[in-house]
Amino acid sequence: MSESRTAANYHLVDFSEIPGTECPCGTARRAFADIESYPGTIHVTEISADAQLHYHKRLTETYYFLECDDDAQMQLDDELIPVRQGQCIMIPPGTRHRAVGTMKVLIVVFPKFDPDDEWLD
């Protein structure tokens, strides 16, 4: 992770300086994993059209849709719901999910993201 500025009372990141990591959704840039006092992580994820259905056993993810195709959807278990820029959805542990269509999302993850807690069907 590339922390651009750290001081006693704050931590500032520039997501453009964080290397992208391939994930079932597309490419994620993850921040604050190395900040012990912060209980989660923040991701900016570019979601590809072929995102894979997956779930987490421990993690809660909250997606805020920054950019979406007009026909963007989220699959949550067996339900497809339309989503648009400016909406937010909380996905609890155990919910199978994937994005349908290309989009850019801000994801807040609690507790800290753990790649070993990504389960594919």
DSSP label at residue 52: P
- pLDDT tens digits, residue range 63-111? 999 999 999 999 999 999 999 999 999 999 999 999 999 999 999 999 9
Domain residues for the domain of 22 are: 3-120
Lowest mean pLDDT among 5-14, 27-36, 64-73, 81-90: 5-14
Contact (Cβ atoms closer than 8 angstroms) between residue 91 and residue 61: yes
Please state the domain count of the chain: 1
Q: Is the pLDDT of residue 14 over 50?
A: yes
CA gap 25, 8 in Å, rounded? 34
pTM of the predicted protein model: 0.90
CATH number reported for the structural domain that contains residue 46 in this entry: 2.60.120.10
